[in-house]
Amino acid sequence: MKLGFIGLGNMGAGMARILLRAGHTVAVWDRTPSKAGDLAKEGARLAASPADAARGAEAALSSLADDHAVFAVVLGDRGSVDRPDREPLIRGLAAGATHVSLSTISPSLSRQLDEAHRALGQRYVAAPVIGRPDAAERGELVVLAAGEDDAVDSCAPLFDVLGRKTVRFGSHVERANVMKLSANLVMACLFEVLGEAYALAESHGLGATQVFEVLKDSMLSPENIAGYGERIASGQFEPAGFRLKLGLKDVDLALQAAEDAALQMPFASAVRDRFLVAIARGLEDKDWAAVARTLPHKRAA
């Protein structure tokens, strides 16, 4: 396929490179032109602007840092006025061609992009990816795709190159972005809780590496995480493998051990509050994973 690729950061460069190596024709652009040099040596065309990268392409892929960058590069902002090198992607993309947004952006911006492309007869696919730069280089990302069926179908050969798995979320483009945000939230929370667990252990004479060696074969084992993830998703909290009221007891003990060491653990304190809510709702004898289902929220249709 004839492609444009906009954004050659840690993730984008790897994705553009693997598409080139798969035999696609790729025009590349980055606001830092030097980033495109290595790809040019591998056969990429250096585009003069985002619009130039998209011009004549069947699909233009963008991998950018945040909402501001995506808005400016795709739709244009004040900085792109009278700047030929910043002519936005949407001006170069032909009617019937597809913009594939690989970026982690807000659901509201994803909807805005979809509407803007539709108004010009273009197609839009939200396709944020899960994985680190080394996975991008190897084509082992997980692609989260949403958009009209024909648009996503047309991009399937690209996703097969970029990732080991593609998960589709229907025509509501923002749902792919919400899925990516949900996944990143899990990781962000894991970082914090590991930090607090290591700090608690170290404040009582244990080493972080020693703690990890125990956790990786128990609490952090794939089977354990997947098992609890499935239980929480399905709402199956009986029979209880470990009762919720005993979970509260253990969180209290951890917080007391932290206090003894003058250690502040804000995440653990917040978790304790959720356990109290669960017990107030009569869940004390359910499995302790039931604490995860105490957040009030409205389910979207």
Residues, the chain? 301
| Residue 249 appears among annotated catalytic residues | no
Map 126-147 to HEC letters. ECCEECCHHHHHHCCEEEEEEC
Q: How far apart are CA 8 and CA 172, in angstroms?
A: 27
Q: Which residues contact 115 (CB under 8 A, 6 or more apart)?
A: none
List the beta bridge partners of residue 287.
243
Kind of pairing between the strands at 129-130 and 141-145: antiparallel
Selected catalytic residue, list 2, 41, 165, 180: 180
Catalytic residues: 180
